[in-house]
Amino acid sequence: MSYIVAFAGKGGVGKSTLAALTVRYLSDKRKRPILVVDADPNYCLPELLGVSINRTLASVKEEALKNKPEYIPLDEWLEIQVNKIITESKNFDLIVMGRPERDGCYCAVNNVLKRVIKEISGNYNYTVVDNEAGMEHLSRGILNKIDVLFTVSSPAKSSIQAALRIRELLKELNISLEKIFLVINQAQKKLDESEEKYLKRAFEDIYYVYFDREILNLSEEGKSVFSLSEGSVSKENFYQILEVTFDGR
CATH number, domain with residue 78? 3.40.50.300
Range with top average pLDDT, 71-85, 113-127, 213-227: 213-227
What confidence tens digit (pLDDT) does each residue in 6-55 have? 999 988 899 999 999 999 999 999 888 999 998 877 788 999 999 998 88
Q: Determine the residue type at 119.
A: E
pLDDT (0 to 100) of residue 233: 94
In a domain, 11, yes or no: yes
Is residue 95 over pLDDT 80? yes
**pLDDT higher for 209 or 135?**
209
The residues, any chain, with a CB within 8 Å of residue 113's CB and separated by 6 or more, are 57, 60, 61, 78, 82
Q: Does residue 1 form part of some domain? A: no
**Comparing C-alpha atoms, which of 43, 6, 41 is closest to residue 23?**
6
- Cβ contacts of 115 within 8 Å, gap of 6 or more: 75
- Tell me: pLDDT of 88 over 70: yes
Output the pLDDT for position 100: 60
The answer to whether residue 141 scores a pLDDT higher than 60 is no
Specify if 249 maps to a domain. Answer: no
CA distances in angstroms from 7 to 70, 178, 229, listed in the order given: 38, 14, 23
> Residue 102 pLDDT > 60, yes or no?
no
Residue 200 falls within a domain, yes or no? yes
- For residue 147, what pLDDT band results from cuts at 50, 70 and 90? very high
* pLDDT at residue 139 is higher than 50: no
Question: Which is more confidently placed, 243 or 120?
Answer: 243
Domain of 89? Answer: 6-244
What's the pLDDT tens digit per position in 173-222? 778 889 999 999 999 999 999 999 999 999 999 999 999 999 988 878 88
Q: Give yes or no for residue 109 having a pLDDT over 70.
A: no
pLDDT per position as a tens digit, 57-82:
877 777 776 788 888 887 788 788 88
Candidate ranges 112-121, 127-136, 172-181, 208-217; pick with highest mean pLDDT: 208-217
Instruction: Quote the pTM value.
Output: 0.90
- Report if residue 122 sits inside a domain: yes
**Please, which residues bridge with residue 210 across strands?**
187
Does residue 103 register a pLDDT over 60?
A: no
Q: Does the residue 109 lie in any domain? A: yes
Tally of domains within the chain? 1
Q: Residue 8: which of 170, 133, 183 has the closest Cα?
A: 133
